[in-house]
């Protein structure tokens, strides 16, 4: 594996909803993580509240000089899944892309978070009459997702709007 000897920005994939935990843990290890969040108003039948949401759910950025030892130290951090890499090694993110991402820190307005689902992903239904059902994505058609749901004695397939789904970690599917 090849490493860049200069300080660069990298993308790291983290466990679902572990971004704040990873950010703190990496900061405690003297790394420079970048975890962009925004505020969103959530309304329930009883009240309204402001919650912090991720611009890039499941991902964050890290500025570091990565060598084999540092790579392992990053991977040992609770919640870190991987440093994005190719066959050569960790992939540095061009500075101009990071500059664009940094502009999001100042953004105030509506953020449309469009989830990306791929065949084989494990998901949970979060809205509607099927709320709570878990399954695996079989097919993606525009905004409708076909998921396979295990049932006894076989399996069924349903189509559901992507806005009704959330991605699960591999170990969350029963």
Assign residue 135 the CATH number of its domain.
Answer: 2.30.30.30
**pTM: predicted TM-score of the whole model, two decimal places:** 0.62
Q: Which conformational region is residue 132 in: left (phi greater than 0), alpha (psi within -120 to 50 degrees), or beta?
A: left
Residue at 21 is within a domain = yes
What CATH number is associated with residue 98? Answer: 3.30.70.940
Residue at 67 is within a domain = yes
Collapsed DSSP state (helix, strand, coil) of residue 4: coil
Mean pLDDT of 91-112: 78
Contact predicate 152/143, CB 8 Å: no
Is there a single domain that holds both residue 98 and residue 57?
Answer: yes
User: Which residues have CB under 8 Å from 34's CB, separation 6+?
Assistant: 9, 60, 61, 62, 63, 98, 101, 102
Residue at 3 is within a domain = no
Among the candidates 106, 138, 157, a domain finishes at 106
Average pLDDT score over the chain: 82
Is there a single domain that holds both residue 74 and residue 44?
Answer: yes
Q: Which pLDDT score, from 0 to 100, does residue 174 have?
A: 52
**Tokens (6 digits) for 120:** 């084989």
Residue at 17 is within a domain = yes
The whole domain housing 81 covers: 8-106
| pLDDT tens readout for residues 2-39 | 888 889 999 999 998 899 999 999 999 999 999 988 87
Residue at 58 is within a domain = yes
Contact predicate 118/136, CB 8 Å: no
Is there a single domain that holds both residue 96 and residue 140?
Answer: no
What Å distances lie between residue 62 and 44, 80, 121, CA to CA? 35, 12, 26
Q: Tell me which of 3 and 149 has the higher pLDDT.
A: 3
Residue at 52 is within a domain = yes
Q: How many domains in the chain?
A: 2
Is there a single domain that holds both residue 27 and residue 95?
Answer: yes
Mean pLDDT of 74-78: 96
Q: Is pLDDT at 72 greater than 90 in this prediction?
A: yes
Residue at 115 is within a domain = no
Is there a single domain that holds both residue 165 and residue 127?
Answer: yes
Within 10 angstroms of residue 10's Cβ, the number of other Cβ atoms is 20
Is there a single domain that holds both residue 63 and residue 146?
Answer: no
Residue at 114 is within a domain = no
Q: Which pLDDT score, from 0 to 100, does residue 153 have?
A: 58
């Amino acid at each position: 594996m090849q490493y860049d000897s200069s300080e660069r920005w990298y993308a790291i994939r983290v466990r679902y909803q572990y971004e704040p935990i990873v950010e703190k843990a990496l900061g405690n290890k003297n790394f420079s993580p970048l975890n962009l969040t925004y505020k969103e108003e959530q309304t329930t039948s009883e009240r309204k509240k402001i919650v912090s949401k991720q611009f890039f759910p499941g991902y964050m950025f890290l500025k570091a000089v990565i060598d084999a030892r540092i790579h392992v130290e990053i991977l040992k951090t609770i919640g870190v899944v991987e440093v994005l890499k190719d066959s050569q090694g960790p992939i540095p993110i061009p500075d101009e892309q990071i500059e664009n991402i940094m502009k999001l820190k100042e953004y105030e307005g509506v953020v449309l978070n469009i989830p990306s689902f791929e065949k084989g992903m494990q998901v949970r239904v979060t809205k509607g009459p099927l709320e709570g059902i878990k399954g695996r994505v079989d097919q993606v058609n525009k905004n409708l997702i076909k998921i396979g749901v295990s049932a006894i004695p076989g399996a069924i397939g349903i189509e559901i709007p992507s806005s009704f789904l959330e991605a699960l970690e591999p170990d969350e599917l029963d």
